[in-house]
Structure 1
Amino acid sequence: MRNIVVGAALLVVAAGVGWYVKSSGAEQPGAQQIAPGRGGPGSGAVNVLVTTVGYAPFAQDMEAIGTAHANESVDVTAKVSNRVTLIAFREGQQVKSGDVLVEFDSHQVRATLAEAEAALRDSRSQFNRSRELFATRALSEAQLDQLQATLSMNEARVAGARSQLEDTIIRAPFAGRVGLRNVSVGSFVSPGTVITTLDDASVIKLDFSVPEVFLSQIKEGLEITSRTTAYADEFKGKVSSIDNRLDPVSRAVLVRARIDNRDARLKPGMLMTVRLMRAESSAMLVPEEALVPEGNSQYVFAVRDGKAVRTQVLIGRRRPGEVEIVKGLAEGDVVVVEGTQMVRDGSPVNPVVSATPRGAMLEAEVGGERA
C-alpha cells in the first residue's frame, strides 16, 4: 500500500514539472522573441527615423567681440602754455567744423602783431622810395637788395605773429559732439593738456578680430549684425576694410566695419558682439545625428530597397544640428537619422517618419512604397 501512495505522488510531481516547462515556453523550438524597436512579429525590420537628402541654402555665420570707435575722434589740447579766457561750448554740445571752442589770453600776442605790422609798413614804404631812387641811379643795387630783404623779414614776422594769435583760439576741426570739459576759465594749461574731447559718431567704426582660417571668406562689403548689452535690438553694418597684417601671436586679422549711428545711440568704447554673415551658398545637408563616426572616417546608413546600406561620406562645413555632405550621397537619397545603433549593413528597416534638414516632417518613399 505504501508503494502505491509513493508512486502516485511521483506521478503528480512529474505532471506539475511538465506543465511548468510548457507554460514558460522554455526549450520550445521555434519560439519568436520580439525585440524593442522591431517592426512586429515575424517582420524583422527595425523602426528608424529617416530623412531625405537635399540641397538647402547655407550661410554659415561667425561671432566675434569688437570695440566701437567714433568715425573721427580727437583730444582737444593747447599748443602753447597760456591762460583760458573763454570756453565757448557746452558739455555734450553738437558743434560744426570751425566753431570756436576755447580762447586763451592774447594781449601779448596782439601787441607783438601790432609791432610787426608797424615795422612792415615802414619797410614797405622805404622799399617803394628806394625803387624810385634806384631808377635815377641815386641808390645802388646792393642797397635796394638790403631794403627788400628787410621787407621780406618783416612780412615773415607779421605772418608769425598772426599764427601765434591764431593759436590762442581753438576751433573744432570737424563737426561732432564735444565731451566733458576738464578746465575752467582762468585755468593755466600747458601743451598736451586735454581740455575736452570731440567725436564724430554719426558713423561707428567697429573693430574686431577674425581667425586666419576665415580670412579667405572675408571681403569688403560683407554684411554684419552686432549687438550690445545696452539695447535689445541689432545694429547692421558692412565690412569697410581689412588690415594688411595678421597678429603673429593670435594668427588673427583685424577687421573694421562701419555702422550708421545717426540716432547717436552707440557710443565710442562700447563692447559689441559681432555676427559675420558669410556669403550664402547651396549645400547638401543632413542632420548630425545621421553620422556614424569610425576612426577618421564618417558613415551614414542609406536606405535602399528596404535595407540599411552602410555608406562612407565626406563631410564639409557644419552649423548647429546640420553638416554638409561633400561626397558619398546624392540628392534624393534617404538616410537613417535615429536608430543607427540598432541596424547593421544590410539590415531590413522600417522607415516610419522622415525629416528634412530644414526641419519639415515629411513621409519618405522607400522602394516605391510610402513609409
Structure 2
Amino acid sequence: MKKYIKWGIVIIVGAGLTTLGIHTFTPRENEDLAAVKDVAPTQKNRSLNINAQIIRPHLLTDELFVSGKLMPDEEVDLSFEASGKIVDINFTEGTFVKKGQLLAKVNDSQLQAQLKRLEAQMPLAEDRVFRQNALLQRDAVSKEAYEQVKTELATLHADIENVKANIAMTELRAPFDGVIGLRQVSVGAYASPSTVIAKLTKITPLKVEFGIPERYARQVKKGTNLDFMITGRLETFRAQVYATESRIDPNTLTLTVRALYPNTQGELIPGRYADIQLKREEIKDAIAIPSEAIVPEMGKNKVFVYRSGKAEPVEVALGIRTEAEVQILKGLAAGDTIITSGTLQLRKGMSVVIDQLN
C-alpha cells in the first residue's frame, strides 16, 4: 500500500514539473512591445506646433557695442615757473576761467626793483645814441664809438626784457579756457615749480576714448559717427571720431579710438564711463532672420522653412550679425516662411502646425 502511495506522489510531482516547463517555454505575445507598436503610428503622424515668420526685406544696421570713458579736451596741473611766496590767489574754485586770466602770483618785489632801475637808465642811453649819431653825421666821432653806445642801449633793452620775463614767471595765468578745480595752496605758502596750485580742465568739447577689436580696425576711421549713453541719463549723445591710434595695442589687441562730443552746455563732465554704439554699416532691403532660427550642423548652417505643412531644411550662407538678427546672403528669399521655434526637434518632412506667424 505504501509503495503505491510513493509512486503516486512521484507521478504527481512529475506531471506538475512538465506542465510548468510547457507554460514557461510556450511563445506568447509581448504586451509592452504591442503597446509600443500601437502608439508608434500615432507619434509618427503627430504634428509639432511652431512659431514662424515671413521674411520681409528691411534696413539692417551693423553695430558694434563697446565701453569707453569721457576725457577732457585739455587738462593741466597748474604751477608757477618761478619759486617764491604766494602773495595773491585770484580765482574761485570750480569756476570757469578765460585763457590768459591771472590766477595767482608769487612775490616779485626784487624783480620789480630791478626793472625800475633799468627803465630809469633808458632815457640817458637813448640820448647818448642820439648825440653820438649827430656827431657821427659831422664826422666828429668814430663809427666805433657810435656802435658802442648803440650796443649799450640794446643790452639795456635786453636786460629789461629779461627782467619782465622773470616777472611773468611769477604770475600764474590760465593757458586755455576751462574750469578750474580745487586749489591746493594758500596765500603765504612757498611755491616751487613742482607745487601744484590747482587743476584746469577744458570740458568743451569732450573726448570719448574707447578701444575696438583689431578685426574692426579698418572699419572705424575719422568721421565715423557714434552714439553713447551715460549711467543715470536717459538721452543718447552723438559724437564723431576724429583720430585713431597709430598701432594695435599688443597687450589687449585693440585699437584706441577718440571721438569728440561738443558738450556746449557743459552738461557732461570728464571721467565718466560711456556705453558706446558704433554704426559701421547700414544695409537696405536686407534678408535677415532671428538668430534662434539658425541651426548649426556639421560646419554648415541651415534653416527650416515651412512648406505646405511640412518642415524643410535649407542650407544658408550668413552675413553680418546684430544683437537679434543674422543677415542671410544665400538660401532664402523674401516671402519665405521660416520656423523660429522648436528647431532642435524638427526633421526633414516633419508635419508642423503654425501657432504664431509674424
Band of TM-score, shorter chain: 0.7 to 0.9
Helix, strand or coil: the match of 1:311? strand
Equivalent residue number for residue 7 of structure 2: none
Determine which of 36, 41, 46 is the counterpart of 1:33.
41
Equivalent residue number for residue 16 of structure 2: none
Equivalent pair of 1:299/1:313 in contact (CA under 8 Å): yes
Distance 1:293 1:301 in 2: 12
- CA shift for structure 1 position 314: 1.1
User: What pairs with 1:19-168 in structure 2 (closer than 5 Å)?
Assistant: 26=34, 33-35=41-43, 38-39=46-47, 46-168=48-170
Helix, strand or coil: the match of 1:194? coil
Query: Against the structure 1 CA distance between its residues 141 and 238, is the aligned structure 2 distance closer, same or farther, given a 3 Å change threshold?
Result: same
Distance 1:124 1:177 in 2: 46
Say if 2:323 is the partner of 1:320.
Answer: yes
Worse overlay, 251-260 or 104-113:
251-260
Q: TM-score, normalised by structure 1?
A: 0.80
Aligned-partner residue type, residue 117 of structure 1: E
Distance 1:67 1:253 in 2: 15
Summarize deviations over 1:150-205 as a string: whole Å, max 9, x none. Answer: 11111111111112222222222222211111111111111131111111212211
Distance 2:44 2:341 in 1: 14
Distance 2:110 2:251 in 1: 55
Query: What percent of counterpart residues are identical?
Result: 30
Equivalent pair of 1:25/1:31 in contact (CA under 8 Å): no
Aligned-partner residue type, residue 315 of structure 1: L
Query: Against the structure 1 CA distance between its residues 27 and 290, is the aligned structure 2 distance closer, same or farther, given a 3 Å change threshold?
Result: closer
Worse overlay, 336-345 or 63-72:
336-345
Helix, strand or coil: the match of 1:338? coil
- CA shift for structure 1 position 90: 0.9
Equivalent pair of 1:67/1:207 in contact (CA under 8 Å): yes
Worse overlay, 291-300 or 240-249:
240-249
Aligned-partner residue type, residue 299 of structure 1: K
- CA shift for structure 1 position 24: 11
Please, which runs of 5 or more residues in structure 1 have no aligned partner?
1-20, 40-45, 356-360, 362-371
Say if 2:298 is the partner of 1:295.
Answer: yes
Equivalent pair of 1:84/1:189 in contact (CA under 8 Å): yes
Equivalent residue number for residue 18 of structure 2: none
- CA shift for structure 1 position 211: 1.1
Distance 2:100 2:254 in 1: 40
Equivalent residue number for residue 22 of structure 2: none
Query: Against the structure 1 CA distance between its residues 321 and 206, is the aligned structure 2 distance closer, same or farther, given a 3 Å change threshold?
Result: closer
Equivalent residue number for residue 225 of structure 1: 227
Equivalent residue number for residue 334 of structure 1: 337
Equivalent residue number for residue 185 of structure 1: 187
Equivalent residue number for residue 173 of structure 1: 175
- CA shift for structure 1 position 351: 4.1
Please, which runs of 5 or more residues in structure 2 have no aligned partner?
1-28
Distance 2:33 2:273 in 1: 72
Helix, strand or coil: the match of 2:139? coil
Say if 2:217 is the partner of 1:210.
Answer: no
Query: Against the structure 1 CA distance between its residues 243 and 160, is the aligned structure 2 distance closer, same or farther, given a 3 Å change threshold?
Result: same
Backbone CA RMSD of aligned residues = 2.8
Query: Against the structure 1 CA distance between its residues 132 and 254, is the aligned structure 2 distance closer, same or farther, given a 3 Å change threshold?
Result: same
Query: Against the structure 1 CA distance between its residues 159 and 53, is the aligned structure 2 distance closer, same or farther, given a 3 Å change threshold?
Result: same
Summarize deviations over 1:271-323 as a string: whole Å, max 9, x none. Answer: 22222233322321122232221121111223345443322111122223322
Query: Against the structure 1 CA distance between its residues 26 and 251, is the aligned structure 2 distance closer, same or farther, given a 3 Å change threshold?
Result: closer
Determine which of 249, 252, 255 is the counterpart of 1:250.
252
- CA shift for structure 1 position 125: 1.3
Helix, strand or coil: the match of 2:333? coil
